[in-house]
Structure 1
Amino acid sequence: MNGEILLESKEARTQRRPRFLSSGWTLEVMAITASIGCMIAIVAILLKMKDRPLAWWKFFLSLPATVAIFATAAKTMAGFAVAACLGQYKWMYFRTNQRTLSDFDLIEEAARGPLGSWILLVTRPKAFVAGIGAVTVILALAVDVFYQQAIEFNPIDVQIDDGNATFGLAHNYFSTAISSIAAGNVLMIEASTPDTSMQGAIYKGLFDTVAPSAFKCTSNCIWNSSYISLGFASTCSDVTASTLQKYNATKLWSGLEAGGRGSNITTSGGVPLRATYSATSFQTVISVGGISLQQVAIANKDLTVSEAIEAGVGVTFSPKIARIAVFRVPSDLQNFVIKANEIQITECDISLTAYRYSDMSGTGSNLTIGSQQPIPLDPGIVLPSILPNSTAAIGRNPVVFNQTGLDTTLTASLQDISALNLLFLSPRFTGNLYDGESPTTDGINQGVGDAFRSGNVSDVVWSMTQSMTDHLRSSFDATAPGLSIRPEVFVQIRWEWLVLPFFVQFLSILFVLLVLLGSRQAWDLPLWKSSMVATMYHGLAFQTSGVDDNVATLGTNVQSVSEMEALAKATKAKLQ
């Protein structure tokens, strides 16, 4: 065996120095323990922040920086212990058998960095214990990258109750209308008192100028519950056939008779309309009419409505307000003739109703209502002239709607409802539009006929009631609190990326334990580790007799590490 060496025999060493078990692994044990502690700290931090908002991290250093510090400390401490153990292992390696002198350098270089460790693995693949240390040093190169990949920041929309998301609700409708005392009828309204703002909402809805729904949202908002609000609804149907069958359509709208033709007609629902024309002169294009649907039921028939209400004796009031009808026919600007097959008559009932709003969301000034479910109201109970806040008000009576299916009690003023009814029957709403020379007998009353010139009549009336509902909700006598939606960065932990750091830590612990156990068995071998001075003090003695002159023995007269350190401090040397 060429160039092989052997540490001097245990007998020779024990003859020259006393037996002792060195306790010089204190720093290495502390380092590997600190490394384990850093790993535990990293796991604890990641578990605490897993699936939590990044804002929860209050330390003055950022989360990645804190993890990086612990990761660097863990790798550095483990690397220190592994390097020291590799340095000591080379002495143990030569103690057990004859080795080539180059192995001394191989193991020492492995303790110094990844390149030496790679060379050791390639040239000495069967060196099991040293191979564990070498693999640990190589894999430690990728640990930092894997730690970085383990932490991921994802922006997620979260719902926050910050009071900035509100949706207006109306549980009461009390405005300015009061009964006319002089008329002696609770349903007759003083001319100067109707709710003009609600009238404005009616015109807005009819002429497609509906204001945005009453809500507040600073950014993105959501309402997770359902909410009840008082409003208005319309139910429309095409009554053309049922109305015309009462009349002789050929006679009234054939266009064959001389002079005026057509007639004032009444719909199947009882609404009077104007449907006349005069060939080559004029024709009715649109006629809007209305009737009252208000119904007051009195338990005691001996009392008047006013007396029964003030006495608080079983008076109920229907939520229905009015029925309007629209007669519409295309213009014949040449002949001014109404043809029966071109007539369209639509009836719409307008009433108070409850709405259940749900699945709502808002973005800036845009509100999306996923579900707006109407809940028909049963007749309400009419109370004496006392408002809900117990303030006396002459000529104003609450109508209370409290029925199964409602989450809250809804209240409306009898006088305000009556004022709306009077508006729908008044010339400001009903009237006729003509093409050609308008008949002087009908005056110039046109009502809101222009609103029905185009489009679907049902849609126009629905838009009107929605405008009324939105106006009512804008009173904000109740609110539906919502949640603001804001993007927030959450911490996601990808644990699979920690497999390599944990594996490197495991190899470090395993290698340190193996070397410590081997060192305990080699109790007479001082802990020279990677000391260059220790290497210099080990002389190389070749055999002077024997078959192979290339076998040598490593030996030293230094008895301990402390003795070596004392000699190193006292000895001076110069390179020749």
Structure 2
Amino acid sequence: MSVHRRASDAETGLSETNDTTVHTQDPPTDTSTKRQWLDWNDTWAWEIGSVTLAVVGLALLVAFLVTINNTPYANWQYTASPNTVVSIIVTITKAALLVPVSSCLGQLKWNLFQDPAPLYHMQVIDQASRGPWGSLEILLGGIFGSRTGSLTYIGAVITILALAVDPFAQQILTLPSRTVPALNATALTQTSQNWTSTGGLDQSDVHLELPPTLFTAIISGLMQTQRPLEPQCNALSCDFPEFVALGMCSKCEDVTARTDQKCQVEDDLAFWEGIPVHPALREAPTNCSYRTPSNFSFDFKHPQSIAYGTIGVDSDLHKSNNVTFNMNHWSLRPRADYPILGIQAPIVSLIEVDYIDPVRYIVSNATAPPTKPVITECAVYFCERRYAAGTFRPTTQDSSPLHVVDTQELIVKDAQEERPDIYSPDPFYFDPPKGSATLSKNPTYSMDHLTFNSFRPLMMSLFNSTNNGNRFNVSISDTLKLASFLRRGNLGEILDSMSTSVTDTIRKNGHGSEVSGKAFRDERFIQVRWPWIILPVVVALGSLALLLGTAIGSKQTDAVLWKCMVLPLLSSDLHTTPEHRIASVRSADGMTAMSKNMRAVVVQDEGPLTFKEK
């Protein structure tokens, strides 16, 4: 250090005109420091080791994710969850990545001042090396025109992106559910192609009466209280293949439009006796006969009651000019195996006549025929039912049993039905009608004589809604009061419910077979969402690129690897112009404002580290 001063005469005893220059020199030092075997601070060894650790961490993370991807979560037998393992690996990797980023930003501030640069950049780059806030300041400065170099921007971006690495890591793994086969689970449903009365409790002691199980199935089906036959499935869901079963079917059609109607004037004079109506209304064709498409005939001769309206004014002051016939008629009429609706040999065919709506006449339409009653033809018959392949879920409230997709009528083989011995041990065998193919690949349908011969008499009596007046021969329909129930429901739906109930009973009889299905359960499994790993990879690659760029730049400028050290700044000199006396500023804002206007460069010689304003 060289000191120039002027001594007074009192101090030196010399005249005022003599200038004395005193040269003081520091003791000689050895400027050549001895390099240790491993000088960590003067190399990039720590940074290279940290980047290597980060790369190894990413490799371990990828290997771990590949290993556990799509594996059952139940197989994970460790205390720490997979998400915890991922979080640990990512945390260590991120910590290792931030070491070279911080060192590179620290070194970049020294590299920057190898050429003249604003002194303020020393401050902002140093802050960026210490955390996200300084990095954000660099990025904002770059937006508003402050140029600190592309590598500093990369380092600032990596520092800020590192904040999001942990949240992204939490999204890498998810635990959805999937359906897998359930081992040791039951998946069975029942089917049968034959019925044989088993005797015992299911054997009726009444001549030609159905077994109690079948009779109960018919009644519960008509009442629509039967419980559908559900498969046996003790898993989450069961898949069943297609199968065919012997059963009962029904078919109904509204044939009102195809029913012939012939009406004529009532020839019974006593019918109008005492009814004050206009003479023209007495010519109304109220006496009608009907013939359905199945050649079933019935007549309507006398309505239940007649109501007449207001007294006419212009025509006849003593006669009503309108009349209403209240029909109030409903009947269900069974017939034995009469072909109907394309069914060749039904157990019973039914004709429902519903004449509820009144018929109203006025003078102007007195000669028009009355409206037809609603006429429905139905058939109940033996059939084979094909059940579609489907999935049954016992735990779901809206789950329904397997449903029927096709049916085929079955008739007794030729000459079998005429056998007189109803107790014959030989069963009746069924075939589809001629010209029709069976739905089953192995069709062998049979039913014992007693059961087969009991169906028709029961249903003839069950669906007969007319009372013949013989108190000793009352139909089952009257005994059970079924007419009141059947007339208020949709006959087609009621018969379909009955047919399904009987079919389910036949399917679960002791001579049936079991259809095996496949049981499934829900399983939680580990799924890797690979896009969420992109950010950690980008941060790692960015850190590696930043380290390479900084190391190459430092080598090219022959800059000393001070990195984040503050000691060189404490021991440095700052030579400024007289107008920039920054050392005398005592406020942060004032020093910041002045440093932005000062451009300095590092002067490297054998003397102390010097920042010289340019």
Q: Please classify the TM superposition score into its range, dividing by the shorter chain length.
A: 0.5 to 0.7
Contact 2:355 2:374 in 1 (8 A): no
Q: Which residue of 1 aligns with 2:336?
A: 291
The residue that corresponds to 1:510 in the other structure is: 545
**Residues 10-62 of structure 1 deviation map (CA, whole Å, 9 limit, x = unaligned):** xx999777899967433322211221232334445556666777667665433
Q: Residue 510 of structure 1: CA displacement?
A: 0.7
Task: Name the CA distance, whole Å, in 1 between partners of 2:372 and 2:121.
Answer: 109
Name 2:95's counterpart in structure 1.
Answer: 76
Match of 1:199 in 2: 215
The CA deviation at 1:353 is: 1.9
Pick one of 305, 316, 325 that aligns with 2:350.
325
Aligned twin of 2:202: none
Work out the number of aligned pairs and report it: 480
Q: Which has the higher strand share?
A: 1
Determine whether 1:413 maps to 2:413.
no
Please, which moves more after superposition, 526-535 or 190-199? 526-535
2:165 to 143, 155, 159: 143
Question: Aligned-pair distance for 1:80?
Answer: 1.3
Among 179, 186, 191, the alignment partner of 1:170 is 191
Q: Separation in 2 of the partners of 1:44 and 1:355? A: 55
Give the Cα separation in 2 of the matches to 1:165 and 1:90. Answer: 73
1:61 equivalent to 2:83? Answer no
The one-letter amino acid of 2:551's match is L
Amino acid across the alignment from 1:232 = M
- For normalisation by structure 2, the TM-score amounts to 0.60
Check whether the contact 1:87–1:108 (CA below 8 A) recurs between aligned residues: yes
Q: Which residue of 2 aligns with 1:467?
A: 501
Pair 1:373 & 2:405 matched = yes
* 1:17-416 map, 5 Å: 24-45=43-64, 59-90=78-109, 92=111, 96-97=114-115, 106-119=124-137, 122=141, 125-148=147-170, 150-151=171-172, 153=174, 158=179, 161=182, 166=187, 168-176=189-197, 191=207, 194-216=210-232, 221=237, 223=239, 225-237=241-253, 269=294, 286=331, 288-292=333-337, 320-326=345-351, 328=353, 346-358=376-388, 362=393, 364=396, 366-368=398-400, 372-377=404-409, 395-397=425-427, 399=429, 405-409=439-443, 411-415=445-449, 416=451
CA 1:481–1:156 in 2, change beyond 3 Å: closer, same or farther?
same
| Native 8 Å contact 2:256 2:372 kept in 1 | no
Q: Distance in 2 between matches of 1:483 and 1:191?
A: 45
Question: Measured at CA, do residues 49 and 290 of structure 1 come closer, stay the same or move farther in structure 2, by a change above 3 Å?
Answer: farther
**Given that residues 528 and 534 in structure 1 are in contact (C-alpha distance below 8 angstroms), is that contact kept between their aligned partners in structure 2?**
yes
Q: Larger deviation: 26-35 or 223-232? A: 223-232
* Cross-structure match for 1:301: none
- In 1, the alpha carbon distance for the partners of 2:121 and 2:527 equals 48
Asked if 2 retains the 8 angstrom alpha-carbon contact of 1:165 and 1:216, the reply is: yes
Change (3 A) 1:554 1:57: farther
For residue 481 of structure 1, what is the aligned residue in structure 2? 517
Q: In 2 relative to 1, CA 36–42 (structure 1 residues): closer, same or farther, beyond 3 Å?
A: same
Inter-CA distance 324–540: structure 2 relative to 1 (3 Å threshold): same
Give the CA RMSD over aligned residues.
5.5
Q: Which residue of 2 aligns with 1:304?
A: none
- Structure 2 unmatched runs, 5+: 1-28, 200-204, 274-286, 306-327, 358-368, 417-422, 577-599, 609-614
Q: Distance in 2 between matches of 1:29 and 1:126?
A: 24
Deviation, structure 1 residue 71: 1.9
TM-score (norm 1): 0.63
Q: 8 Å contact 2:189–2:514 — kept in the other structure? A: yes
Measured in 2, the distance between the counterparts of 1:252 and 1:471 equals 54
- Residues 470, 556 of structure 1: CA spacing in aligned structure 2 closer, same or farther, 3 A cutoff? farther
Q: CA deviation at 1:198?
A: 1.0
* Cα distance in 2 between the residues matched to 1:69 and 1:127: 34
Distance (whole Å) between structure 2 residues aligned to residue 276 and residue 56 of structure 1: 82
Bigger mean CA deviation after superposition, 486-495 or 345-354: 486-495
Is the 2:351–2:377 Cα contact (8 Å) retained in structure 1? Answer: yes
Deviation track 1:421-441 (CA, whole Å, cap 9, x = no partner) reads 34334x4x254445xxx7347
Q: Which has the larger radius of gyration?
A: 2
In 2, the alpha carbon distance for the partners of 1:518 and 1:18 equals 23
Q: 1:72 to 1:408 in 2, by over 3 A?
A: farther
CA distance change for structure 1 residues 257 and 93 in 2, over 3 Å: closer, same or farther?
Answer: closer
SS in 2 for 1:112: coil
Unaligned 5+ residue runs, structure 1? Answer: 1-11, 179-188, 295-317, 333-338, 385-392, 544-548, 558-576
Report if aligned partners of 1:284, 1:432 keep a CA contact under 8 Å in 2: no
- CA deviation after TM superposition for structure 1 residue 173, in Å: 3.1
- Return the alpha-carbon distance in structure 1 between the equivalents of residues 501 and 106 of structure 2: 87
Question: Percent sequence identity over matched residues?
Answer: 21
Cα separation, 1, equivalents of 2:215 and 2:192: 19
Q: CA deviation at 1:461?
A: 2.3
Per-residue deviation at 1:176? 0.8
Deviation readout 1:247-295 (Å, 9 max, x if unpaired): 998799999599xxx9xx9987588999999999xx995354331479x
Q: Are 2:471 and 1:457 aligned?
A: no
Counterpart code for 1:65: T
